[in-house]
């Protein structure tokens, strides 16, 4: 479903290369975890896949359902079924959650040939989604993320994921900022949303989340590359040993290039 091939990307304004040849394949029904120390390029990878304008792809390709999406605008990628839960969700004052979600839902539905919902139908539709992440209905009429606590913002991202029903979800540090109860609720929600037809990529630097959402594969990203991949046991190994023992792997490979 998602194939990232030898992806190199730079920060457009400064020319600094952040992604230095990332390879990753996600198939339907799979959950992947990408772990790695701060600053290793995890968020950048997610943003580049989603089409953030600050980054330029200088080499490699991103295929979604077999076709390159490099030329697509971020909204077109969203229409194709790509969803990014932001590490730092953005505040949009004056625009209510409902307004945003209805507009999002209907735009995506229209582009995928699904039926659009009128405001009343939409109200009914999202009630069930609220329950999924135990979200207070009051949040629907509040401005998007405005004045939300860190944890509320993260929960709101997963609520949006539930409403929009993406094909591929990139969840960037969704666990950070959540207390243990909220973490359990959000993780349960993600597990319920995930099925045989969609893929999930969890980005995290703690093993904690993986106790609740069990990944099929774990990848370690260091210095803009995936330096090691394995099964879920790799997460435990990282928990124990940290990332230091892998750092050398990154440099050796980096210089060998």
Partner 1 sequence: MSETKALESMIGEEYKYGFTTDVEYEDFPIGINEDIVRLISGKKNEPEWMTEFRLKAYRAWTEMKEPSWFNATYEKPKFDKLQFYSAPKNTPKLNSLDEVDPNIRETYEKLGIPLEEQKMLSGVAVDAVFDSVSIFTTFKEKLAEAGVIFCSISEAVREYPELVKKYMGSVVPVRDNFYAALNSAVFSDGSFCYVPKDTICPMELSTYFRINNMNSGQFERTLIIAEENSHVSYLEGCTAPMYDEHQLHAAVVELIAMDNAEIKYSTIQNWYSGDEDGRGGIYNFVTKRGACRGHHSKISWTQLETGSAVTLKYPSVILQGDYSVGEFYSVAVTNKRQQADTGTKMIHLGKNTKSTIISKGISAGNSNNSYRGEVKFSKKADNARNYSQCDSMLIGQTCGAHTFPYIESANPTGKVEHEATTSRVGEEQIFYLQQRGISEQDAISLIVNGFCKEVLKELPMEFAVEANKLLGIKLEGSVG
Ligand X SMILES: Nc1ncnc2c1ncn2[C@@H]1O[C@H](COP(=O)(O)OP(=O)(O)O)[C@@H](O)[C@H]1O
Tokens 């909204």 correspond to: 75
Q: SS3 for 236?
A: helix
Selection from Mg ion, partner 1, ligand X, none that 39 binds (CB < 5 to 8 A by kind) is ligand X
Nearer to partner 1, 171 or 220 (CB): 171
- Binding track, positions 72-91, relative to partner 1; x by CB under 8 A: -xxx-xxx---xx-x--xxx
Least distance (Å) between residue 7 CB and ligand X: 13
Nearer to Mg ion, 43 or 174 (CB): 43
CA distance 33 to 127: 30
- Binding track, positions 175-214, relative to partner 1; x by CB under 8 A: ----------------------------------------
Residue 42, C-beta contacts closer than 8 angstroms, at least 6 positions apart:
34, 36, 172, 203, 205, 221
Nearer to partner 1, 40 or 160 (CB): 160
Nearer to ligand X, 12 or 103 (CB): 12
CA distance 222 to 244: 10
Tally Cβ neighbours within 10 Å of residue 193.
18
Out of 6, 39, 231, 245, the only residue in the binding site for ligand X (CB under 6 A) is 39
Q: With binding defined as CB under 6 A, does residue 58 bind ligand X?
A: no
Task: Find out whether 158 and 190 touch, Cβ atoms under 8 Å.
Answer: yes
List, in sequence order, every residue forming a beta bridge with 26; answer none if it has no partner. 2
Question: Contacts with ligand X in 121-160 (CB under 6 A)?
Answer: none
* The two three-digit tokens of residue 182, written as one number: 């909220």
Tell me, what DSSP letter sits at residue 113? T
Q: % helix / strand / coil in the chain, to the nearest 5?
A: 40, 25, 30
Nearer to partner 1, 102 or 228 (CB): 102
* The two three-digit tokens of residue 85, written as one number: 């839960």
Question: Contacts with partner 1 in 90-149 (CB under 8 A)?
Answer: 90-95, 99-101, 103-104, 107-108, 111, 143
Selection from Mg ion, ligand X, partner 1, none that 78 binds (CB < 5 to 8 A by kind) is partner 1
Out of 35, 44, 86, 135, the only residue in the binding site for ligand X (CB under 6 A) is 44
Would residue 6 be called left, alpha or beta, if left means φ above 0 and alpha means ψ between -120 and 50 degrees? left
Selection from partner 1, Mg ion, ligand X, none that 52 binds (CB < 5 to 8 A by kind) is partner 1
Residues within the interface to partner 1 (CB under 8 A): 50-54, 73-75, 77-79, 83-84, 86, 89-95, 99-101, 103-104, 107-108, 111, 143, 160, 164
Instruction: Give contact residues for ligand X (rule: CB under 6 A).
Output: 11, 14, 18, 36, 38-44, 54
């Amino acid at each position: 479903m998602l194939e990232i091939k030898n992806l190199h990307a730079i920060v457009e304004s400064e020319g600094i290369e952040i992604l230095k040849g990332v390879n990753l394949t996600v198939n339907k029904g799979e959950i992947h975890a990408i772990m790695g120390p701060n600053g290793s390029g995890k968020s950048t990878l997610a943003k580049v896949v989603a089409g953030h304008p600050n980054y330029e792809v200088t080499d490699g390709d991103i295929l979604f359902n077999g076709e390159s999406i490099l030329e697509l605008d971020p909204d077109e990628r969203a229409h194709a079924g790509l969803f990014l839960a932001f590490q730092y969700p953005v505040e949009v004052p004056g625009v209510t959650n409902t307004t945003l979600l209805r507009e999002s839902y209907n735009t995506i539905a229209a582009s995928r040939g699904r039926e659009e919902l009128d405001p009343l139908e939409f109200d009914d539709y999202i009630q069930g989604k609220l329950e999924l992440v135990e979200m207070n209905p009051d949040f629907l009429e509040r401005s998007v993320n405005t004045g939300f606590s860190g944890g509320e913002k993260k929960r709101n991202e997963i609520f949006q994921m539930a409403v929009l029903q993406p094909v591929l979800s990139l969840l960037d540090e969704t666990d950070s900022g959540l207390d243990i109860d909220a973490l359990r609720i959000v993780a349960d929600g993600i597990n319920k949303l995930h099925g045989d037809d969609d893929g999930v990529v969890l980005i995290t630097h703690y093993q904690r989340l993986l106790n609740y959402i069990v990944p099929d594969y774990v990848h370690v990203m260091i210095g803009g590359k995936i330096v090691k991949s394995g099964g879920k046991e790799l997460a435990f190994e990282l928990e124990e040993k940290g990332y230091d023992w892998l750092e050398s792997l990154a440099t050796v490979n980096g210089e060998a290039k």
